[in-house]
């Protein structure tokens, strides 16, 4: 299966359990790996035979920047589900990184990664 990757898309969102996270917000990074058949686009060199990367980016941007979730797990799951609803992907892998969660300690970031596969007949 062919794949399209988006690496380290950067967004500012207001996700988290604590009130300060909802008020102040913070940076989130999203990585995507989406699987679909790209053979027709490879032969035709026509955008109509593939997916528009800007549409994918805009959907993820809207979810991260305009919606609010307490858990990064819920944010990650929503991104995966909406990508499968809107685009002809067979599988999506979504990784959301929260560089500054309110944890007292030394670490670079916390991330959630989920893989979702299109159900047969969907």
Query: Which residues are the active-site residues?
Result: 98
Q: Which residues contact 103 (CB under 8 A, 6 or more apart)?
A: 110
Closest CA relative to residue 65, chosen from 28, 96, 34, 102: 28
3-state DSSP helix/strand/coil percent for the chain, to nearest 5? 35, 30, 30
């Amino acid at each position: 299966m062919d794949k399209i990757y988006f690496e380290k898309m950067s967004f500012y969102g207001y996700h988290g359990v604590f009130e300060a996270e909802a008020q102040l917000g913070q940076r989130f990074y999203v990585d995507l790996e989406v699987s679909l058949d790209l053979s027709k686009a490879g032969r035709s060199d026509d955008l109509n035979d593939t997916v528009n990367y800007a549409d994918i980016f805009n959907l993820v941007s809207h979810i991260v920047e305009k919606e609010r979730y307490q858990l990064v797990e819920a944010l990650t799951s929503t991104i995966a589900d909406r990508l499968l609803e809107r685009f002809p992907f067979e599988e999506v892998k979504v990784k959301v990184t929260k560089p500054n969660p309110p944890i007292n300690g030394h670490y670079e970031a916390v991330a959630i990664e989920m893989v979702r596969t299109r159900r047969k007949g969907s």
